[in-house]
Structure 1
Amino acid sequence: MRRTTTTVRSILLLGSALAAIPAAAQGTPPTAETAPTPQTATAASEETGENIVVTARRREESVIDVPIAMSVVSGDLLEKQGAVDITALQDKTPNLTLQIARGSNSTLIAFSRGVGQQDPLWGFEPGVGLYIDDVYVARPQGAVLDIFDVERVEVLRGPQGTLYGRNTIGGAIKYVTKRLGHDVSGMVRGSYGSYNQFDLVGQIALPITDTLSIGAAVARYKRDGFGTNLTTGADQYDKDVIAARVSAEWAPTDAIFVRLAGDRTLDKSNPRHGTRLVGNGGDPRYAPTASVYDTRAGIGDSNRVLAQGLSLTGEFGLSDTLTFKTISAYRDGKTNTVIDFDNTALPTLDVPAYYEDWQFTQELQLLYQGSRVQGVFGLYYLDARASGAFDTVVGLLNATTLTSGSVKTKSYAAFGDFSVDVTDQLKVSAGLRYTKDDKTGTVFRRNYTGIRSPRFGNAAAVPGLIRTDYTNDRSFDQVTPRISISYEPRRDLNLYASWGKGFKSGGFDMRGDAVFTPTTVNGYDPEKISSYELGMKGAFLDRTLFLNLAGYYSRYTDQQVTIQVPNVAGGIASFVDNAGKADIYGVEIEARAVPSRWFSAQASFGYTHAKYLEFLTFINGGTTPVDVAGQRVFQNTPRFTAAASFTASADLAGGTISITPEVTLRSDYTLFEIPTPALDQDGYALVNASANWISGDGHYRVAMNLRNIADQRYRVGGYNFPGAVFGNSIIGYYGPPRTATATFEVRF
């Protein structure tokens, strides 16, 4: 009954927002005099109705012309609507899930159309790739990017690889920062809000000569917790982040552009320990807390995540049609954290951990822009290492299992993607990629008697059985093609069909227990997808209505699924299944109406049907795989997602005021492949609103942002370790409560 009531309420809220769209049918459409330049088109188009310019295919073009399902959101829009970080994109993109990982503050969990990677352990590759200015970010730690110094974010759905450096099986998120230009410019923004939130962001760009500019952006985010650690008194769900970007741009001629950029983010927020969802008999020490944001975790409140990188990009025009581009980048990160699985003052099930990684990437591209043929040919190289260690402390047995290891990856790829204008209306695009990944995995796992191992401070711990100790090498290679056909019966209308294959290489399970699952030393196999899509993109009613439609079908094979289960010996067994095959199909609708400069409306809808056809796994240590497809579901994949908002503007006090209410809807979803009623989330709706006043000269902005106005409680993650030995540890992590934030911004 609760689920039905929630769904009905969500539909009513959504219907109220959608009802505003027909009411926007009156007004004067924008004129040619208000058309933005390509550099400002992304931001301006959301208010003027002009085409959005993107670089999804490595060249500037209208989003209507791109035969790929994609969503584009400008940084200005995200800032105006009070988006805290890139996880807000899930409210604006159909069939997308972006969440902060359970127990973390800055680790990203991403799913698109049912494809993703929930397990943020080192060595696993994300199913949805993240790029910062064309640089692939290989690890999810530190990937929850805050919204500052960003021009736009492009979300590409479906497998990618013929256009981008690293092959990604589920899609790509492109975080595009602003170029400096050749004028002095800057911005200072301060925000104060609920839970003593205080944010301060500053940006500046300075031309040194006619050809050289330097710039910097610094952000400080500070907030008290939504809850309290009732054992230590520390804040829960707080925020303590400082981030910075610096860059230098050199453009001696129109044909040469060179950019050197560096970024660093340090997150010292307290760890999120979650909250207990069930008790453990009548023991009051294990009782759930009154607030879902409170905890009784006793493992401590130390958490530190560092992510940083340096990149050098060069673009050189070789002729009117040829451009050479090089992208060199180095990134590294380090995480020290703790997870209290039992959420009590006792060490019933505690995990202290650290992760460390680095990566070097080199990409070379040759871009051709002819009158009838356009395309890109590229070479890509990745050299990376991810490592870490953690203790699994089972306090009721006075036992600890240390797990440590590393994965080294070297990836080599060649890719190409070209479009041919067969006629003025008919276009054909085809791409091909070859990828070869060499991986070396080292895993060590050992039992100790005592609370924590020597690696995490207990020198008196007594060593016991070595459960896993191996180093192994594997290589994976794959050819992944893509083809699309576009037909444009008139200007601003594109009908397209596409087919492509995606691939994510195999690897080694860093938690693998060779005692319970001896085959773990062999690693796991790659996963593959074959995806079909039919779509339409167009502008209608004198370019006051923009509509994108897409229908898709994917055959997903050998999906990598991490399974962690308690075992009779008091430990936790982990193994990675290549889960047979599955069918995924669905539809996506995105609409944007701009009937006048005083009113605009947006709406999106996504439907995903994902079903396992075969799911082979080993049960209770068996040696014969069993098909359990009927008992498994896709995690983090709601069947329905929807969103609607409108923006109404008016002149006020020498400037313009705009008000934007927004409602987003997500239907029921599970947090793991095995349905767990105590953890799985019912459908829910979130209601947000924002108001912005911008001075006539654009120098000043005053804003008020309200998020989760209905104060909805919804789970974004959890753990499930039932049983007496584990303290019946079923815990959940929640999205933010209702918040209000006031902002003042000055631009010069």
Structure 2
Amino acid sequence: MTAQKRSERLQDVPISISAVTSDTLQKQSVMQVSQLSLAVPAVRIDFSGNTVQPTIRGVGSAIAGPGTNSNIPTYIDGYYIPNPVATDLALINIAGLSVLKGPQGTLFGRNATGGAIQVTTKAPQHDTNILARLSYASFNHITAGVYGSTGLTPNLAIDLAASYEYGDGFKRNIVTGQRNVGQFSRWSVRSKALWEPTDGVIFTLAYGHTYSDDPTPNMVNARNGMSAGALIPGNVVASGRRDMSNGSPNYDYLTTDAVTLTSNFDLGFADLTSYTAYRKESDDQGFDYDASPAFIQAAKWTIPEKTFTQEINLTSKGGGRFNWVLGAFYLYNSSEYHYNIAAGSNDYSRLFDSRNKTNSYAVFADGTYEVMDKLFVTVGGRYSIDKPHVAFNLMDTVIDEGGATFKNFSPRAVVRYEINRGSSVYGSFTKGYKSGILPAASFSTVAVEPESIDAFELGYKISQGPLRFNLAGFYYDYKDVQVASFFAQGVSVVRNAASAEIYGVDGELSYDVTPDFTLSASAAYTHADYKKFQNAIGYEQDLDPSSQTYSTFQPVNVDASGFQVLRSPRLAFNVGANYGFNLANGRMALNANYYRTSKFYFDAVEQFGQKAYGLLNLRATWTDPSERMDVSIFGTNVTNTNYITQTLPDTVAIRQAYGEPAAFGAALTFRY
């Protein structure tokens, strides 16, 4: 585990972490980051359109659009991914995944108030190995992937991961009768080259390309038929899980290219690591805002984005009483937005163009000292300078631009006591920070102020024999929360809510009952309420069709003080069981995983909720005697639970999207 930028045992890291291996992810049928809640219930992964919006312990991003970014960043092999559209990753060559809960600032490339999601991919090996997987499931869902690694010379190894995915989706258009309107395809290729020219020097060069033609996040209908289209005589408006009635196109094409170079140098007294990355992304979307056959309001937009990051870490060797890390980080991000609108017809015209640029600089330091035997004190800090800039053109008549500068120092302090070699307790204080922003879709050069959080945590960890157990209690004072309200024609208003108070407890338990039988459980109780939020936005329905404006849902101010923070269930948990036994000279493994969440709301004013629900996944895998082939059958959401994954309100419709119904399939895995 390298959560503190140095190799440590998980139970020695004084941070609340959920670490999941690739084998566990596969057993639980977690194949993408968006399904992470099934394995880590303290996390919710929701969407706003195709924008991934994670929430950890009641802290999550409630904003989307140009010039915005998540307060729970995703890292791949240590590299920050700024675009929340590109973080719903397929997990074909994943070595492991970890979720860090609570503010992260003194050890990572970009500061964050909520936590961090770390994805680690496999490293090239000199020994030749090949893994190939093919699966078929309900809704004509085909997944194929291959991973291979080999050595070319004694000091050069390469690998290659490739995947392809296709499906018809579960949606049907009840107006046209088309049954595969959610048809999607995705493919990716990623390769690494690891070169060790001399002892103590390692370079890892990686290139990845992904392409996705997947309208699934935009496959919305009208919640309870709440659409302006419902006021038009004879118009059919869908609201059921598998039904759509959109008259305008819904699509999403995403292309990503990324090049990274990781350089490691053994300096004797410390290790120096350089992380250099360049990403280029292009997102092309179409969306029917009224979710009906009528041409009331629809949009098409393209988002080209470029990112360059450079991070330097100097890490002590360890082994003594004092261990430390020093770091510096730079980010340049440029994101354009070209937005076209159609209102009253299917003719699109340009509404606005925008360009956001961000330069971010940071230095950080973190050190742990063993002040006496088994008692460790950690102190860290991070100083950040963020400089966002925005320029926009509204209907070719209004041009404006502006910038802002935000400076922040975020400290942390931790005390940990090692009870014995396998267990420890800790207490921590961490100050979190998310930079202010200039969201272009608000058509303003007045910056939204940074959000901040004071986080207190007490934790206990033990890993002894068959038992692994982690427990943490936390209290957050969350201020200037950045929230967005959406209006007609893609316009959003992003501003700071007053404050929120969050406290709770979460934990994980795994116990090997026998060498063949393991039980696991994890749970999170989170009490997250707005302390003061007097100008939250709700939507009031106007049922008078005589105006013919079709703006039937008018924004109104609501005092949300004391209301539950959006997308923050009070209780979420999962329980799992793994049982293995010999069968036909091979090995059979049975896995069951059940996830449940209590009621929560998609909005700050508690208008649009999702009642409590549970998801059950089952998997059975037989491994042949040579251990080179697996045959699996699996079911996801086997109880066919009906649940909503997002709600998107604005003036022409209250839109929603559903999770996938029950699906069943089979998979083959080959190893060499």
TM-score of Structure 1 vs Structure 2, range by shorter chain? over 0.9
Match of 2:270 in 1: 322
| Residue 455 (structure 1) aligns with | none
Q: Deviations over 1:188-245 (max 9, x none)?
A: 1111111111111011112100110111010000111201234563623333000110
**8 Å contact kept, 1:275–1:293:** no
Amino acid at match of 1:706: G
SS in 1 for 2:660: coil
C-alpha change, 1:290 and 1:507, in structure 2 (3 Å) is closer
In structure 2, relative to structure 1, the CA distance for the partners of 1:281 and 1:175 (3 Å cut) is: closer
Q: Deviations over 1:648-704 (max 9, x none)?
A: 11011222111011110011111111222xx32101011111111123432111111
Change (3 A) 1:737 1:636: same
| Of 102, 107, 116, the match for 1:158 | 102
1:473 CA displacement: 1.0
2:455 to 526, 531, 539: 531
Could you tell me whether the CA contact under 8 Å between 2:509 and 2:521 is conserved in 1? yes
Question: d(CA) in 2 for partners of 1:633 and 1:333?
Answer: 35
1:67 Cα deviation from its structure 2 partner: 0.3
2:224 aligned with 1:278, yes or no? Answer: yes
Instruction: Choose which of 208, 213, 226 in structure 2 pairs with 1:263.
Output: 208
For residues 308-457 of structure 1, what are the structure 2 equivalents within 5 Å?
308-319=257-268, 321-370=269-318, 371-395=320-344, 402-446=351-395
Shift of the alpha carbon at 1:285? 5.0
The count of residues paired between Structure 1 and Structure 2 equals 649
Which residue number corresponds to residue 123 of structure 2? 179
Higher mean alpha-carbon deviation, 416-425 vs 428-437, is at 416-425
Q: TM-score, normalised by structure 2?
A: 0.92
Pick from 665, 690, 694 the counterpart of residue 619 of structure 2. Answer: 690
Q: Which amino acid in 1 is paired with 2:288? A: D
1:173 CA displacement: 0.6
1:743, 1:598 → 2: CA distance? Answer: 23
Q: How does 1:286-305 map to 2 (within 5 A)?
A: 286-289=235-238, 291-305=240-254
SS in structure 2 of the partner of residue 90 of structure 1: helix
Q: Is 2:83 the partner of 1:139? A: yes
CA distance in 2, matches of 1:587, 1:395: 51
Distance 1:375 1:157, change over 3 A: same
> CA, structure 1 residues 179+618, in 2 after alignment: closer, same or farther (shift >3 Å)?
closer
Mark the CA change 1:472 to 1:745 in structure 2 (over 3 Å): closer, same or farther: same
Distance 1:284 1:597, change over 3 A: farther
2:591 maps to what in 1? 660
Residue 648 (structure 1) aligned with residue 579 (structure 2): yes
Q: Secondary structure at the match of 2:163?
A: strand
Alignment of 1:24-43 (within 5 A): none
Q: 1:339 to 1:397 in 2, by over 3 A?
A: closer
- Equivalent residue number for residue 547 of structure 2: none
Contact 1:562 1:574 in 2 (8 A): yes
Q: 1:632: how far off?
A: 4.8
Distance in 1 separating the partners of 2:600 and 2:195:
49
Please give the secondary structure, in 1, of the residue aligned with 2:561.
helix
3-state SS of 1:740 partner = strand
Deviation at 1:393, TM superposition (A): 3.3
Contact 1:207 1:213 in 2 (8 A): yes
Mapped contact 1:278–1:288 kept (Cα < 8 A): no
CA RMSD of aligned residues (A): 2.2
Within a 5 Å distance, the mapping from 1:215-294 to structure 2 comes to 215-231=159-175, 233=178, 235-270=180-215, 272-279=218-225, 283=232, 285-289=234-238, 291-294=240-243
Structure 2 segments unaligned to the other structure (5+ residues) = 539-555
Conserved in 2, the CA contact under 8 Å of 1:274 and 1:293? Answer: no
Q: In the alignment, what sits opposite 1:736? A: 660
Distance in 2 (alpha carbons) for counterparts of 1:302 and 1:397: 15
Matching residue of 1:747: 671
Shift of 1:266: 0.3
How far is the alpha carbon of 1:407 from its aligned partner?
Answer: 1.1
Q: What per-residue deviation string (whole Å, max 9, x for no partner) do you get for residues 691-748 of structure 1?
A: 11123432111111110011111111122235xxx3xx22210111111121111111
**Which structure: greater strand fraction?**
2
- Give me the whole-angstrom Cα distance separating, in 1, the residues matched to 2:386 and 2:610: 37
The 3 A distance-change label for structure 1 pair 287 and 698 is same
What's the secondary structure of 2:588's corresponding residue?
strand
Q: Report percent identity of matched pairs.
A: 28
- Quote the residue 2:468 is aligned against: 546
Q: Distance in 2 between matches of 1:573 and 1:207?
A: 53
Cα gap change, 1:496/1:525 in structure 2, threshold over 3 Å: closer, same or farther? same
Match of 2:509 in 1: 591
- Deviation string for 1:159-208 (max 9, x for gaps)? 11111111122111110001112101111111111111111101111210
Greater helix proportion: 1
**8 A Cα contact 2:29 2:617, kept in partner:** no
**Residues 545 and 595, structure 1, Cα contact 8 Å, conserved in 2:** no
Q: Report the alpha carbon displacement of residue 103 of structure 1 after superposing the two structures with TM.
A: 3.5
The Cα offsets for residues 556-600 of structure 1, whole Å up to 9 and x where unpaired, read as 11111111245xxxx675311211111111100110111322011
